[in-house]
Structure 1
Amino acid sequence: MIDKKMEKLNVLYICHTAHLGGAALSLHNMIHSMRDNIVPIVLLPQKGPAYELFTKNNIRCIVHHFRMNIREKSNVKHIVKFLPHYLRDKYFNLRCVNSVISELNGIKIDIVHSNASVFTIGVDLSKRLSAKHVWHIREFQDLDFNFQPFTGWKRLKKMIYASDAVIAITKSVYNHWELNKARNAYYIWDAVRSVSDICLNTNKQKYFFFLRLYYVKQKVHLLQ
């Protein structure tokens, strides 16, 4: 259980899509399940149904375009276009980081939560904000979407392994990313409802999420 006396954590969640797919809906459920212990802020690349869902439920959103770190596996032009694409990614992501910091206007962020493996801007934001970084891995990339990291598997895995915590949504995803090599990794199902809340009612108050957050001497520790 989460310590009810714990000071609320300011968490910056990064959602890569404005659509109401599984990632955005799961993120909304997770935020709902932790509502008594966090002050959530969601970064979205654009407005859309996800923005409307979050704001309707009084969750603050920051909207700013950022680049994703994926490409199609069969993209034979990758080598030729690598450098221009990489420089564009760095430029737009730097603009996003600067804009987010400006909009936060001095708010101390405790955790930056990257809600998928397809972008890396969470790493830059956590460093600039001196915050812990949690990476939520929801996809295989290659096996499910025929994608692979634009900057390569080795570089992305190195970044993921260095996170303060990594959460895979299934054991298969955990194994695929070799998260046994990460500093602090778990496989935990997405935020779900309790047995007593089994009926479909999105306004119910009994979501739960198997992650315990402790705030000790200005540092956040994620425990199993």
Structure 2
Amino acid sequence: MNILFVSHETVFGGATLSLLGMIDELKKENNVYVLVRQKRGPFIEQLRSKNVSVIYAKYYSWLIPQSRRGIKGKIVNLLHRVACGINYIQGLRLRKEVQRIQPDIIHSNTSVINMGAILSELYHIPHIWHIREFGEEDFGLSCVFSEKYRYRFMERHSDRIICVSRALLEKYSSYISNEKLVCIYNGVSFEPYKVRQYVNKSKYNLLISGRLSEAKGQIDAMKALSYLKRKGISHLMLHLAGGGNIGFYRNMAEKLNIKDQVKFYGHINYLTELREKMDIELICSKKEAFGRVTVEAMGSGLPVIGANSGGTVELIKNKETGLLYCQGDYRDLSEKICQFIENAEYRKKIAESGCKYARKNFGVDINAKKVYQCYRDIGVV
């Protein structure tokens, strides 16, 4: 079978890492092609190193950040609508490539772009739309067209819509017929991760991975550290791995009197080595669509503390495979941190349980089999 994936980024975000794992499995018995909209980037280099065919075309997002309001915001929105119209022209320019590879299915890797749906419409090829983000709730994105048009377009130009959590599926079920929706959790390759070994320590390293933003909840963790410091618990170090406005968060750390307890790394493609030095991983996001970093942390043997929202509650069984705290409540988070640092045996027990659960349920092979079954269900296999 010939599979054409449509990607939206060339850096290693969660969606792209999940796609890469899926490709590794599916290319064992299928011909895989990936359409990208940039000529260079770590993802493209990785694809070429794996002998995966890469096709380039310039296309635009139909979900964009809504950071501007008023007249300027309307002008930006109008320009992006025009750009989305250009996507049809680019689709027509891809005719020779489509004829050359003869895809049996087109698989869009994100809701951010509509290029895969356009190609499906132009060339009458079955289309899978893989939804890996809420959009507005987690990334502050909204459609350049009306929401009504967006959902109608998605339903009309998709044979199946894959949601990466039940929370995400529930959102889409309000707009799209249930027979087109299916929940398939992301897959993670645990091969690079060594299972963390635990010893009693005098200092603890806490990790949050993900872009620095209000939606990711880093401020919850910083406030928790500040609160614990005021209570005389200062043997904690918070490590923030993610790009964004580092200056803002440095200033916040200084205001909270924890500047010596927070370390910034910027964007990191692979967290394997960093996780080996950590003791606890925090997932403080307001609403994760899935939470790839949650599964990675669990699978590497780290005890996790996650917010009780979005897809995170589907991954962490409270007090069994991790701990859940009330998102936005830094005192509750600090209490959960104390439960781990004050009881080494409890921390180890939760970490081991989480590791077994993650590796059993969220491997890339499990994900790829379910995606392939999705192809079968729509009759392309």
TM-score norm. by structure 2 comes to 0.49
Aligned to 2:117: 123
Q: How far does residue 48 in structure 1 lie from its aligned partner after superposition?
A: 0.8
Q: Secondary structure at the match of 1:166?
A: strand
Q: Show CA shifts across 1:84-138 (max 9, x none).
A: 43223212x1232123222344332111111000111111101222210100000
CA RMSD of aligned residues (A): 2.4
Aligned to 1:25: 17
- Aligned to 1:156, which of 133, 150, 153? 150
Q: What one-letter code is carried by the residue in structure 2 that aligns with 1:199?
A: E
Q: Show CA shifts across 1:191-216 (max 9, x none).
A: 245xxxx4327xxxx83322313399
Q: Where do residues 1-224 of structure 1 align in structure 2 (5 Å cutoff)?
A: 9-46=1-38, 47-76=40-69, 77-91=72-86, 93-162=87-156, 163-178=158-173, 181-193=177-189, 198-200=190-192, 207-209=365-367, 210-211=370-371, 212=373, 213-214=375-376, 219-220=379-380
Give the number of the structure with larger relative contact order, counting CA–CA contacts within 8 Å between residues 6 or more apart: 1
- Cα separation, 1, equivalents of 2:165 and 2:100: 36
Instruction: State the number of aligned residues.
Output: 203
Q: How far does residue 152 in structure 1 lie from its aligned partner after superposition?
A: 2.3
Structure 1 range deviating more: 182-191 or 12-21: 182-191
Q: Secondary structure at the match of 1:207?
A: helix
Q: What one-letter code is carried by the residue in structure 1 that aligns with 2:187?
A: A
Q: What one-letter code is carried by the residue in structure 1 that aligns with 2:48?
A: T
Q: What one-letter code is carried by the residue in structure 1 that aligns with 2:376?
A: Y
Check 1:131–1:105 CA distance in 2 against 1; reply closer, same or farther (3 A cut). closer
Q: How far does residue 61 in structure 1 lie from its aligned partner after superposition?
A: 0.5
- Cα separation, 2, equivalents of 1:84 and 1:24: 27
Q: What one-letter code is carried by the residue in structure 1 that aligns with 2:154?
A: I
Q: Mind listing any 5+ residue stretches in structure 1 that lack a counterpart?
A: 1-8
- Cα separation, 2, equivalents of 1:145 and 1:103: 33
Note if contact 1:134-1:165 (Cα within 8 Å) is conserved in structure 2: yes
Q: How far does residue 74 in structure 1 lie from its aligned partner after superposition?
A: 4.6
Q: How far does residue 165 in structure 1 lie from its aligned partner after superposition?
A: 0.3
Q: Secondary structure at the match of 2:10?
A: coil
Q: What one-letter code is carried by the residue in structure 1 that aligns with 2:186?
A: D
Note if contact 1:166-1:182 (Cα within 8 Å) is conserved in structure 2: no
Aligned to 1:5: none
- Cα separation, 2, equivalents of 1:176 and 1:136: 14
Q: What one-letter code is carried by the residue in structure 2 that aligns with 1:144?
A: D
Check 1:113–1:145 CA distance in 2 against 1; reply closer, same or farther (3 A cut). same
Note if contact 2:26-2:32 (Cα within 8 Å) is conserved in structure 1: no
Percent identity between the aligned chains? 26
Q: Show CA shifts across 1:36-85 (max 9, x none).
A: 33211101111211100111101100112110012333532343454443
- Cα separation, 2, equivalents of 1:215 and 1:84: 38
Q: More strand by proportion, 1 or 2?
A: 1
Q: Secondary structure at the match of 2:380?
A: strand
Structure 1 range deviating more: 124-133 or 170-179: 170-179
Note if contact 1:41-1:62 (Cα within 8 Å) is conserved in structure 2: yes
Q: How far does residue 34 in structure 1 lie from its aligned partner after superposition?
A: 1.6
